[in-house]
Amino acid sequence: MKLLIGAIAAAALMSVTMAPAKAASFSCMELEGRPAAEVQVCKSRWLGNLDERMDSWYRRALERARYFDQTGKVRSEQRDWMAARNACGTGFFCIRRAYLNRIRDLKNYVEHV
C-alpha cells in the first residue's frame, strides 16, 4: 500500500513539474517556431511568472498611454524590448534581467506619467 501511494505521489509530482509554464503575454501551447527566449519562458515557472507581471504592467501602461496619446510609443518600446529579450536566446539570467528591467520601466511609466 505504501509503495502504491509513493508511486502515485511521484507520478503527480512529475506531471506538475513536466507541465509547461504559463506565460501571460503569449501561448505556451505551440512552441515550434517560437524564439528560443519564449521557449525558455515557457519552460521556467519563474520566468513565466515574470512574464505575467510584465504583461500586467504593460496593459496598465497602455491604458495610461491612451490618456496622453502615447500608445504608439509604448507599443514601439515593447517591440524593441521583445527583440532585446529574444536576443538572449536561452540565457536564463539574461532573460530574467530583461524582464526585471522592463517591469521597472513600465511601472515607472505608469506611476509617474
pLDDT tens-place string over residues 9-29: 444 434 333 455 567 788 999
Cell of 9: 505521489
For 52, residues 6+ apart whose C-beta sits below 8 A from its C-beta are 22, 23, 24, 25
Q: Specify burial of residue 94 (Cβ count, 10 A radius: 0-12, 13-18, 19+).
A: middle
Question: CA 35 to CA 38: how far, in whole Å?
Answer: 5
Query: Can you give the pTM of this predicted structure?
Result: 0.79
Alpha helices (H) along 1-113: 2-18, 36-43, 45-67, 71-86, 92-112
* Chain centre distance of CA 6: 34
Q: What pLDDT, on a 0 to 100 scale, did the predictor assign at position 113?
A: 85
Q: Write down the domain spans for the chain.
A: 22-112
pLDDT tens-place string over residues 45-100: 999 999 999 999 999 999 999 999 999 999 999 999 999 999 999 999 999 999 99
Q: What pLDDT, on a 0 to 100 scale, did the predictor assign at position 8?
A: 52
